[in-house]
Structures are given as C-alpha cells and as structure tokens.
Amino acid sequence: MRKLFTILMLILVSVSLSATGAKESQLTTDQPVKLTWLMLEYWNADNVIQAYKQVAPNVDIEVEKVSFGDLLQQNQIRLAAKSGNPDIVSVDVPLVASYGARNWLYPLDGSISAEDKKAWIPASVEAGTYNGKLLAAPQNTSTQVLFVNYDLLKDAGITVPGPDDRWTWEQVLDAAQKVKTEKVWGLTWEQVTATYQLLPLIQSLGGKAIGDDGLTVEGIIDSPEWIKALTFYGDCFNSYNVSPKSDIPAADMFAAGNLAMFVGGPWDIRRFAGSDLGFEWGVSRNPYFEGGVAVTPTGSWHFGVNASSSHPNEAADFVAWLTEGEGSGIWWSKDSYDFPAQLKLLDSIETEPSFQEFPLAYMKTAAQEAKVNPVPRPVTPGYLEYDQILGNVFSDIRNGADPATVLKKAASQITIEMEKYRH
C-alpha cells in the first residue's frame, strides 16, 4: 500500500504544484535573486559560482546535487510540475527535443546572440536547438577512445595500437581473445548498455539511429546493420566470452589490471593519469568495423533555464556566462574537467603545456577524435522511451538473447510509445 501511496502522492504533488505554478512578476536585476541549480553529484560548482558573484553580486546560486539516474528523473518530475525549481536545468543533450516538445525550457536567444553561438562546436549548437530556438546551451561534449593495457597485450605478443591508430573491431576481438585468461577479460564498453556508446557500432556499419521524422523505428532498428552490430556485441559476452557480464565498472577493472581494453570517455584519461596504475597503458582511436566507417559518439551536458522559473532572464544570463562566457573556462579547468564543447577550449588542449606529455597528452587524441566523425544521438521527442527500451535490448543481448528477436520486439514497443507524439 505504501508504494501505491507514494506514487499517488507524487501525482498529487505534481497536480497541486501545476495548479499553483503561475509565474510571479519578475524582479529587477538589482534586487537579490536566488537561483537554484540541479546538477550531478560529482560536479563541483564552487569556482564558477564564486566567480559569478563578481559579475552579478545580487545573484545567489544554490546548488542541489543528485546522481545521474536521479537527475533525469528529478528534471522530469519537477519540470512537469511547473514548480519553477530548479531555475537552472542540467540537460542531457538527447533530451532537448523531449523537453522542448513539452515547453519546459525557456529560450536562451535573448541572452545568447547568433554571434555568441560561434563559440561552440556547430553540432552542439544544433543539438541544443529545437524548433529554431536555442533551448539548452552546450557546455560539454564527449567522445570515446579505446583504452589499452599495453603490458597485457605485449605479454600476449600483440603490437599495441598507438594514439593515432584506429583498429577494426575484428582486430580488437582478435587481441581480446589472445589476452583472455582466467583472471583477465579482453574487452568491454564503459557504459555497457548505453545507447550513446553502442550506437556508433551500428552507425559504423551504415545503420541509422531513427527515421527522418524522429519517430519511425520499424525497418530501422531491426535492420541487418543493427542485427550484425549487436550480434558482434552479444557474441563478445556469450560466445567469444571475452567480455565480462559483471557490473563492476569497466574503468575499475582496467585500473586493477583485470581488463585489457575498453571503450571509454576522456574523463578516464585524467583519472588514470592521476594515479600510478602499476602497468603501462595508452589510448587509441574508437574502433570501427572492417569495410565500415569510423564514427564517434558525441554530445553531453547542456544547460537550460526552466520555463516556469520566477527569474528566467537572470538564470539565462548566468547560463550564457557559464557556457560561452568566462565561466566555461573555469568550469573546464577547475570545476568539472568534462570535455568542453567550446572551440577555443578544445583548441587549447592542443597547445596548453600540461597536455603535451603522456599520459595527459592522450587528451589531445580525444580532442582530435571529437572532430573526426561525430554523430549526434537521434533527435526525437521520445528519446526517453527510445533510450530506455533500447537499453533493455542491449542488456538482454548482453545476457544472451537473440538480437534479431529482441530488436523486432523493441521496434514494435518503441512504435507504440512514439504514437503519442504524433497527436
């Protein structure tokens, strides 16, 4: 009964909040303004908030931190409730269309001009735009590289791939099979069932993520490209037996010397560079299928303003400062260290002295990789449904399900969910 009660309470709360969510009149900027900012638990925002005090002394920014899974859910509940909290929304980029279709985000074009937008990677600006309005300003982008334990590969008699080499999946698999022992796994993916990380496998074979209307999936996610790519993925876990089914994070297994290779984000470069792993390691380019094309995933955090905020303009000014103004540099170098979406910061990785020596110089590999063939995630108002259902598909295939069968089912499942966006 308690769980039913909880659900009903949530519904009650969202209904009552939506009833009282009428916007109050806006304050002028010299009066004290309090803004709330819902963000990820591992971000530190102290430096940007302190620096912004100099820019706008009357603006107080209060931070609330939650885990990744909770952040998406909290955004969902609070924005739907139109409560005005948080004022500053941390937006995972594929959700821009989803939030946009629901009118949850305040357009930023009043604080960010067309000229300002040139500060970012064009693909990121495009990803943050919905119906011609910039709804979420790009802060980070991401890419993926192949992390390699040089010692394990050399011991197995394999020539390791250099920072500029791009292996095919066939080469990666061959190496993974050679290094696999009782204690050592060959290969895995960092976000092992994440759409973000697995779509490039499919796109490398020429498969599409979604139909051009952003809603059609039948005939697309059950196409031969999807089946072939995911058969490879499933086989790594089930027939080649080179990939672990355990939920221990890939980076931890790698750091412990129990994993020879994994595809992961540039954040791991900093992590491994900061500690002595006790073995020689390196990164190389994101692999591709033989006969296919090299594709890298992209997209990461954007910041937006809650359409129900009591202080949308103050919040938008902060977001502008944070993402394309002075704040972006502070965020990158002192607060989050997440890969920047700002062109000048990406270029600074190439020239900044601290990135000239290995292992931090691998950041340069990642920065170059981010420009190779970045393919954005599908733009669809139903991304949550798409992502969740595909996440289950990846997880089922990893546990041994037949790719063709589960993809067929998922296609009809997603089609049913997408139906509501057509009305």
Partner 1 sequence: MATRMKGERLVPYVLMIPALIILFFFRIVPTILGLGESFYITSFLAGGEKVFAGFTNFARLFADPVFWTSVRVTLIFNLITNPLQIILALGLAQLLNAKVKGINLFRSLYMIPVAISINVSTIIWKLMLDQNGLVNGILKSLGANAQPFFLSSAQSLGSVIWISSWIGVPFWALFLIAGIQGIPGQLYEAADIDGAVGFKRYFLITLPLLKNSLAFVLVAATVANFLLFIPVLLLTKGGPELSTNVAMFEAYRRGLIYGDIGTSSALVFMLFILILAVVMIQSYLLKDKWER
Q: Footprint of partner 1 on this chain (CB under 8 A)?
A: 1-5, 7-12, 14-15, 18, 72-73, 76-77, 80, 98, 101-104, 244-247, 381, 384-385, 388, 392, 395-396, 399-401, 406, 409, 412-413, 416-417, 419-423
Looking at beta carbons only, is 82 or 364 nearer to partner 1? 82
Single-letter residue type at 423: H
65: its two tokens? 């931190």
Closest approach of Cβ 300 to partner 1, in Å?
20
Contact 209, 202 (CB under 8 A): yes
Q: Give the residue with the Cβ less far from partner 1, 3 or 28.
A: 3
Cβ distance 342 to 57 under 8 Å?
Answer: no
Q: In the complex with partner 1, which residue's Cβ is closer, 374 or 381?
A: 381
Q: In angstroms, rounded to a whole number, what is the distance separating the alpha carbons of residues 336 and 25? A: 34
Cα-based distances in Å from 354 to 327, 335, 363, 364, 371 = 20, 17, 10, 11, 21
Q: Of 291 and 400, which CB lies nearer to partner 1 in the complex structure?
A: 400
Q: How far is the CB of 245 from partner 1 (least distance, A)?
A: 5
Question: What is the nearest approach in angstroms of partner 1 to the Cβ of residue 402?
Answer: 10
**CB nearer partner 1, residue 23 or residue 118:** 23
Q: What is the nearest approach in angstroms of partner 1 to the Cβ of residue 223?
A: 21
Which residues does 398 contact at the CB level (< 8 Å), separation at least 6? 192, 193, 233, 234, 237, 245
Characterize the bridge pairing of strands 374-375 and 145-149: unpaired
Cβ nearer to partner 1, comparing 93 with 105:
105
Distance in Å, CB of 296 to partner 1, minimum = 27
Closest residue by Cα to residue 324 from 159, 171, 119: 119
Least distance between partner 1 and beta carbon 351 (Å): 43
What burial class does residue 406 get, using C-beta atoms within 10 Å of its C-beta: 0-12 exposed, 13-18 middle, 19+ buried? buried
